[in-house]
Amino acid sequence: MSDSLTPEKRSWNMSRIKGKDTKIEVSVRSYLFKHGFRFRKNDKRFPGKPDIVLPKYKAVIFINGCFWHQHPNCKLASIPKTRTDFWKEKLNKNVINDKKNIERLEADGWIVIVLWECEIEKHFDETMKKTLKMIIEGR
């Protein structure tokens, strides 16, 4: 199956995908802030540059896009039908890096919470209540 877009147009489209301050990230941060949590965002000092760092609770939150981080058993995590080998390699590297970063953070005593795009979009309140509980209870 061939791509319906030219390589230039596809490249332009992909370049417009935001890496931080997405609508979902802003929603999660707003919820946390309204519930009294103070945090740092996209802190480069930590492995994987977590989307949210809560120093008081020694917790970090990664807000993962299902496609980019290959959410297991999620329909949004499909591999594109064009340039399949490229995408498999690229997305697999993301998964491997995620695992390494989580292991490093946990080894340093941090609580690591991973929120998935699909869970936030479908069940925002429920997901955020669970997240608050995990932060407060230390997992």
Provide the CATH number for the domain around residue 44. 3.40.960.10
* In a domain? residue 93: yes
Domain count, the chain: 1
pLDDT confidence band for 41 (50 / 70 / 90): very high
* In a domain? residue 98: yes
Backbone φ and ψ for 111, nearest 5 degrees, come out as -80, 125
* In a domain? residue 2: no
DSSP for residue 111: E
* In a domain? residue 101: yes
Q: How far is residue 135's CA from residue 6's CA, in Å, rounded to a whole number?
A: 45
Given this model, what pLDDT does residue 20 score?
A: 65
**Tokens linked to 87:** 């995408």
For 91-102, write each residue's pLDDT tens digit: 999 999 999 999
pTM: 0.86
Indicate if the pLDDT at residue 12 is higher than 80.
no
CB-based contacts of 19-25 (< 8 A; 24+ apart in sequence): 20/51, 22/63, 22/65, 24/63, 24/117, 24/120, 24/121, 25/51, 25/63
The chain-wide mean pLDDT, for the chain, equals 91
Q: How far is residue 130's CA from residue 49's CA, in Å, rounded to a whole number?
A: 22
For 55-87, write each residue's pLDDT tens digit: 999 999 999 999 999 999 999 999 988 889 999
* In a domain? residue 57: yes
* In a domain? residue 1: no
Where do runs of H (alpha helix) occur along the chain? 7-15, 23-34, 84-107, 117-122, 124-137
* In a domain? residue 77: yes
Which residue reads 């609508």 in tokens?
23
DSSP for residue 21: S
Q: Provide the residue range defining the domain that includes 44.
A: 7-137
One-letter amino acid for residue 81 of the chain: K
* Beta bridge partner(s), residue 59: 54, 111
* In a domain? residue 125: yes
